[in-house]
Amino acid sequence: MNRIYKTFIICAVVGLLSYAGQSFAGNRDRSGQAGASSFLIDPWAKTNGWGNAGVSEIRGMESIYSNVAGMAFVNKTELGFSRTQYLVGSNCGMNINSFAICQSLAKRDKATGRKLKDFGVIGISAQIMNFGDVDITTVEQPEGNMGTYSPRYLNIALHYAKSFNQYIHGGISVKVVNESVSDLNATGVALDAGVQYQAGPYENFKIGVTLKNIGLPISYKGDGIMQRATITNSAHEMTLETRSAEYEMPSLLSLGVSYDFLFFGGIYKDMDKEERKDEGLTRYDADHRLTLAGSFTANSYTRDIFAIGLEYGFKQYFMVRVGYALESFGVERKDSQNPEKITAITGVNPESIYAGPSVGCSVGIPLVKKDKGNQKLFLDYAYRFTNKWRGNHYISIKLSL
């Protein structure tokens, strides 16, 4: 049975890679045509620390953005809050506040706490993006002095994930986005789906696939696109509405792979590989862990992204991570004889905001003695460099019960 699962996963990944190369590859002709761009912003420090390279690796509450399948690893309850200073120095004061809570639905033995039956994990999250105050201007008064308004983006999502067996984990999200100003708003619905597969003697080899932001086109509505006017040959003034053009959801496909290099100490140090395997040891039992991860994101409406990350963990108490993201195929080469003809699209786009390094760290603080449970408080910080302005700061706090 395990061989069947492994064969299925390998075939699925190969097929999706081919599909990504043919259908989801970044298309310069469609760049900028999608909306709901807040769906592309990851607010969690843990995942931004290595540039979203952990599509296959991420577990717990923070996985709701990178790959919802990782939420299946929530033990009992996890809840957290994140604050993001977005594009510092851009003079628009953008801040992102995010909240999430995940709850295991497993039936447990009251005496030992052991899982008797697993019904999966359910979660809910909210993300509010505030752009600060913007001056109101009109054609007649372009200099403003008419007050201000505050644009806001709100994302609310419901998540569900489940472990089908020891190796395969899957999840799905239903997301609602609302973008509004004082007299206009747009609302849409999108779906995410993800799978994670783990193998190896210590479950240290992982593959992840996630398809995100699949939904119908949406458009703006409201008084902002209406005006009062008098119809020709009529003395009556009427309200006329201009229909807003529809825009697509920023759909994407992400593929990831990772490998944990584990170093055991204590009573496990002198055991050989088979003895450790018989003990059922995983990354959580290692004294030191070094994880190498990589991902490829095929965007429908922007250029593709390659990311690589490295994370070091000392037990579950301290983790530090670095990453590097690269957007490819962004520079146009034109025919010297015919400037209107583009002969190739190669190289790296120097104007990409996210292309570049990222760093982050996490601290896990035990709340009870080890023999009484695994409750922890996690503090996370990440900084993501940007080619414009002064980067993004992420601060997150998570309570794991």
Read off the DSSP letter of residue 275: H
pLDDT, tens digit, for every residue of 104-140?
Answer: 998 877 766 677 788 999 999 999 998 878 888 888 8
| Of 26-30, 141-145, 162-166, 211-215, minimum mean pLDDT range | 26-30
pLDDT, tens digit, for every residue of 83-105?
Answer: 999 988 876 668 999 999 999 99
**What is the rounded distance in angstroms from the CA atom of residue 116 to the CA atom of residue 137?**
62
Whole-number CA gyration radius for the chain: 24
Helix (H) or strand (E) holding 99: strand 95-104
Mean pLDDT of the 230-257 span: 84
User: In this predicted model, which residue has the larger pLDDT, 182 or 295?
Assistant: 295
| Of 12-26, 116-130, 221-235, minimum mean pLDDT range | 12-26
Mean pLDDT of the 193-214 span: 93
> Based on the number of CB atoms within 10 Å of its own CB, is 305 exposed (0-12), middle (13-18) or buried (19 or more)?
buried
Mean pLDDT of the 262-267 span: 88
pLDDT band at 301 (very low <50, low <70, confident <90, very high): confident
pLDDT, tens digit, for every residue of 138-157?
Answer: 888 888 788 888 888 999 99
| Of 43-52, 210-219, 355-364, 368-377, minimum mean pLDDT range | 368-377
For the chain, what's the residue count? 401
What is the predicted pLDDT for the residue at 250?
92
pLDDT band at 54 (very low <50, low <70, confident <90, very high): very high
Looking at this protein, which amino acid is placed at residue 160? Y
pLDDT band at 22 (very low <50, low <70, confident <90, very high): very low
**What is the rounded distance in angstroms from the CA atom of residue 40 to the CA atom of residue 42?**
6
